[in-house]
């Protein structure tokens, strides 16, 4: 796995409080693998590492791991990154839409 993905995942998820540091380490690993092979299946990302793949599935099914805890860890990192810039986060959204309805009418 490329180091950049691991560094990014550590920054985003390393401070997540999932009740156990092993869960947080697993989350960082899953995040790095998701970034490393975008669009690939979990099995492909963990090819040859059956125990790690099972661990990632266990993490996702674990009732002690809440989406809120993961979100809070990531948002906390973003808030820290934003401090030097005045503390105002930017949420950029593209509302462009495309319609091909006119093309169908000509056929």
User: Tokens at residue 72, please?
Assistant: 């809070």
Give the Cα separation of 107 and 91 in Å (integer): 40
Q: Is 29 exposed, middle or buried (0-12, 13-18, 19+ CB in 10 A)?
A: buried
State pTM to two decimals: 0.69
Q: How many CB atoms lie within 10 A of CB 10?
A: 17
Assess whether pLDDT exceeds 90 at residue 86: no
Report the half-sphere exposure of 90 (CA within 13 A, side-chain side): 5
Residue ranges of domains in the chain? 3-85
pLDDT tens-digit profile of 17-53? 999 999 999 999 999 998 888 888 888 989 999 999 9
In this prediction, residue 72 has a pLDDT band, given cuts at 50, 70 and 90, of confident
Fold of 3-85: Serum Albumin; Chain A, Domain 1 (1.10.246)
| Max Cα distance, the chain (Å) | 61
When the pLDDT of each residue in the chain is averaged and rounded to a whole number, the result is 82
């Amino acid at each position: 796995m490329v180091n950049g993905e691991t560094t990014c995942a550590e920054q985003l998820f390393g401070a997540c409080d999932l009740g156990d540091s092993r869960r947080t380490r697993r989350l960082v690993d899953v995040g790095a693998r998701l970034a490393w092979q975008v669009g690939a299946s979990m099995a492909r990302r963990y090819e040859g590492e059956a125990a790690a793949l099972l661990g990632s599935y266990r993490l996702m099914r674990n009732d002690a791991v809440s989406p809120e805890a993961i979100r809070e860890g990531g948002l906390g990192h973003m808030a820290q990154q934003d401090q030097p810039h005045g503390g105002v986060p930017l949420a950029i959204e593209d509302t462009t839409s495309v319609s091909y309805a006119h093309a169908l009418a000509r056929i």
